Amino acid sequence: MRLTIRIIFLLLAAVFALQVIPRVVERKLESESLRNGGTGIISSDTVTGRSLALLLPALSPFSGIASAAARQSLGWVFLLGLPVFIMAILKGRWFCFHLCPTGFIAELAGKLRPEVKSRFVSMPRFNELLLFLALGSALFGYPLFIWLDPLCIFNGFFSVWHTPVTMVSLLPAIGLILIVALSIYRPNAWCYRICPLGISQELLGKAWRHIHSRKELASTQVEEGHKPELGLGRRLFISLIAGGVTGLAARNIVGKQYSIRPPGAIAEDKFTAVCIRCGNCVRACPKKIIFPDTGQSGIAGILTPVLRFDPEYCAEWCNECTKVCPTGAISRISLQAKNNIAMGTAVVAKQHCLAWENGQSCMVCDEYCPYHAIKVIKNDEVLCPEVDPEICRGCGFCQAGCPAETKAIVVQGKPQRTLPHVNLQGT
Amino acid sequence: MKSIDRRQFLKATAVISTVATVLPDVSNAADSSKAVIYVVHGRDITKMVAAGMEKLGGWAKFVKKGQKVTLKPNVAWISKPEQGADTDPVLVSECVKACKTAGASEVVVPEKSVNDWKQSFGSSGVLEAVNRAGGRMYALTEDKYFRKTDFPDAKILKQADVAIDVLDTGCLVNMPIAKSHSGTTLTLGMKNWMGSVKDRQFWHRNKLHQCIADCCTVIKPVLTIMDATRIMLTKGPRGPGEMERPDLLIFGTDPVAVDAYSATLFKKEPFSIEYIKIAHDMGLGCGDLSHVDVVKIEA
Residue B143 falls inside a structural domain:
yes
| pLDDT bracket for residue B261 (50, 70, 90) | very high
Q: Is A412 exposed, middle or buried (0-12, 13-18, 19+ CB in 10 A)?
A: exposed
* Domains of chain A, residue spans: 2-35+50-254, 344-413
Domain-located, residue B156: yes
B240 touches chain A (CB under 8 A): yes
- Judging contacts by C-beta atoms under 8 Å, the chain B residues touching residue A374 are 182
Distance CA B119, CA A316 (A): 10
**A128 contact B CB<8A:** no
pLDDT at A405: 92
Indicate the pairing of strand A374-379 with strand B159-163: unpaired
Q: Is A36 on the interface with B (CB under 8 A)?
A: no
* Domain that residue B162 falls in: 37-298
Number of A to B CB contacts under 8 A, please give it: 83
Q: Does B144 touch chain A (CB under 8 A)?
A: no
Average pLDDT over residues B10-35: 54
What is the per-residue pLDDT for A206?
Answer: 85
CATH number at residue B50: 3.40.50.11440
Answer yes or no: is B78 within a domain: yes
What residues in B contact A37, CB-CB < 8 Å?
A: 131-132
Hey, what amino acid is at A320?
A: E
Check if A141 contacts B (Cβ < 8 Å).
Answer: no
* 8 Å CB contact of A315 and B116: yes
Between A423 and B224, the more confident residue is B224
Asked if residue B166 lies in contact with residue B201, where contact means CB atoms within 8 angstroms, the answer is no
pLDDT recorded at residue A333 = 92
Could you tell me if residue B4 is inside a domain?
A: no
Query: Which 150-179 residues of chain A touch chain B by CB within 8 A?
Result: none
Q: What is the mean pLDDT of chain B?
A: 90
Q: What is the mean pLDDT of residues B196-215?
A: 94
Are A38 and B128 a contacting pair at CB < 8 A? yes
Is B11 a domain residue?
Answer: no
Q: How confident is the model at residue B28 (pLDDT cuts 50, 70, 90)?
A: very low
Please report, for residues B3, B88, B188, B237, the alpha-carbon distance to residue B245 in angstroms, rounded to integers and kept in the order given: 59, 13, 16, 17
How far apart are the CA of A159 and the nearest CA of chain B, in angstroms? 24
Between vectors from CA A187 to CA A184 and to CA A190, what angle results, nearest 5°?
100
Determine, yes or no, domain membership for B2. Answer: no
Angle (nearest 5°) at CA A70 between A64 and A72: 95
| CA neighbours closer than 13 Å in the CB half-sphere of residue A418 | 10
Query: Which residue of B128, B243, B274 is in closest CB contact with A39?
Result: B128
**Residue A238: what pLDDT?**
82
Q: What is the pLDDT along chain A (427 residues), one digit of tens a residue?
A: 889 999 999 999 998 888 888 888 888 988 888 777 777 777 766 777 888 888 899 999 999 999 998 888 888 888 899 999 999 999 999 999 999 999 999 999 988 887 776 666 678 888 888 898 888 888 888 888 888 999 999 998 887 766 666 666 678 888 899 999 998 888 888 999 899 999 999 989 888 887 777 655 455 554 454 444 446 677 778 888 888 888 888 777 776 677 899 999 998 888 988 999 998 999 889 898 998 888 777 788 888 999 999 889 999 989 999 999 999 999 999 999 999 999 999 999 999 999 999 998 899 999 999 999 999 999 888 999 999 999 999 999 999 999 999 999 999 998 999 999 988 875 4
pLDDT, tens digit, for every residue of B124-150? Answer: 999 999 999 999 999 999 999 999 999
Query: Residue A344, CB half-sphere, CA atoms under 13 Å: how many?
Result: 26
Beta carbons of B166 and B149 less than 8 angstroms apart? no
**How far out from the chain centre does Cα A246 lie?**
21
Residue window 372-391, chain A: list those with CB within 8 Å of chain B. Answer: 372, 374, 376, 383
pLDDT at residue number A187: 85
Residue B219 has pLDDT above 90, yes or no: yes
CATH architecture of A344-413: 2-Layer Sandwich (3.30)
Mean pLDDT of B248-260: 96
Residues of A in contact with B240 (CB under 8 A): 423-427
pLDDT at B27 over 50: no
B122 and chain A: CB distance < 8 Å anywhere? yes
CB contacts of B201 in chain A (<8 Å) are: 364, 401, 403
Residue B116 lies in a domain: yes
Angle at which helices B274-281 and B255-265 cross, to 10°: 150
- Per-residue pLDDT at A234: 78
Contact A39 B127 (CB under 8 A): yes
Could you tell me if B243 and B231 are in contact, meaning their C-beta atoms sit under 8 angstroms apart? yes
Total number of domains constituting chain B: 1
Which residue in B245, B189, B194, B246 sits closest to B222, CA to CA? Answer: B189
